[in-house]
């Protein structure tokens, strides 16, 4: 059983590198909205392109830090846009780094929740399927339940944060379900 007197520490990963990214704003809104028993650190997927030649005994410092951040977290919350009906390249790249070392990757068995966003009403739902597929390939423990897509996301953000109450409630409920499962382990 997890120590319930300590907050559960989750790692939030945006699927976008854009400075004013809506995905980052969603993570910032969730971070502010979650009760103090859940801490959401926001990480970055700004990593070099995956090259197996560079993935030897001594990992690149940025990759090392990325893998350690995943290992240290009790679970991962990915908030991502959709690029051309699919997973954005930078996010796929980061997940490929996170999938190694083979058989020992920090994401293996790690609880993971995926939220997609779009300025369109479709909410990035096609990318969500692909992100799920990649996480399944890696062996992460995908959080089940209703898919969380945030459509028309641009209208739901103020001052760099998600403020739409319905979206916040839907997403934080899913995060709570995931952390309850972590706590029960
Ligand atoms: C290369 C590219 C492809 C895109 N393809 C899609 C798409 O397939 N579906 C969609 O809903 N939005 C698409 N968009 C629009 C993005 O949802 C929008 O740019 C969004 O702001 C990106 O997320 P971010 O704000 O977190 O950076 C695309 C944007 C780019 C730059």
- Confidence category of residue 38, pLDDT binned at 50, 70, 90: very high
Q: How many helices (H) and strands (E) does the chain have?
A: 5, 8
Digit-coded pLDDT (tens) for 48-70: 999 999 998 777 999 999 999 99
Q: Is the pLDDT of residue 184 over 70?
A: no
What is the pTM assigned to this prediction?
0.96
Ligand 1 site, residue 130, Cβ cutoff 6 A: no
CA dist 60 → 15, 134, 150, 183 (Å): 21, 22, 34, 33
Q: Which domains does the chain have, with CATH numbers?
A: 8-184 (3.40.50.360)
Q: Which secondary structure element, helix H or strand E, spans residue 179, and what is its range?
A: helix 165-184
Ligand 1 site, residue 142, Cβ cutoff 6 A: no
CA of 22 to the centre of ligand 1 (A): 10
Q: What is the pLDDT of residue 118?
A: 98
Which two structure tokens, joined as six digits, stand for 17?
A: 């590198």
Q: Is the pLDDT of residue 79 over 60?
A: yes
Q: Is the pLDDT of residue 2 over 60?
A: no
- DSSP state letter for 83: B
CA of 135 to the centre of ligand 1 (A): 21
Probe target for ligand 1 pocket from 46, 81, 131, 162, with the most ligand atoms within 8 Å of CB: 81
Q: Which secondary structure element, helix H or strand E, spans residue 39, and what is its range?
A: strand 38-42
CA dist 7 → 127, 143, 179, 183 (Å): 30, 19, 10, 10
Digit-coded pLDDT (tens) for 122-174: 999 999 999 999 999 999 999 989 999 999 999 999 999 999 999 999 999 99
């Amino acid at each position: 059983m997890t120590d319930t007197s300590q907050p559960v520490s989750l790692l939030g990963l945006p699927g976008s590198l854009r400075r004013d990214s809506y995905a980052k704003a969603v993570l910032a809104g969730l971070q502010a909205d979650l009760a103090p028993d859940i801490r959401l650190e926001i990480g970055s997927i700004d990593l070099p392109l995956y090259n197996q030649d560079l993935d030897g005994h001594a990992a690149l410092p940025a990759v090392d830090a990325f893998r350690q951040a995943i290992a240290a977290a009790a679970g991962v919350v990915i908030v991502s846009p959709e690029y051309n009906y699919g997973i954005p390249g930078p996010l796929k790249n980061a997940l490929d780094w996170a999938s190694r070392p083979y058989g020992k990757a920090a994401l293996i068995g790690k609880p993971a929740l995926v939220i997609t966003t779009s300025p369109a009403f479709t909410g990035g739902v096609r990318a969500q399927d692909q992100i799920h597929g990649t996480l399944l390939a890696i062996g992460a423990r995908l959080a089940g339940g209703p898919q969380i897509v945030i459509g028309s996301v641009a209208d739901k953000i103020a001052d760099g944060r998600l403020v739409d109450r319905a979206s916040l409630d839907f997403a934080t409920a899913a995060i709570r379900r995931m952390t309850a499962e972590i706590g029960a382990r």
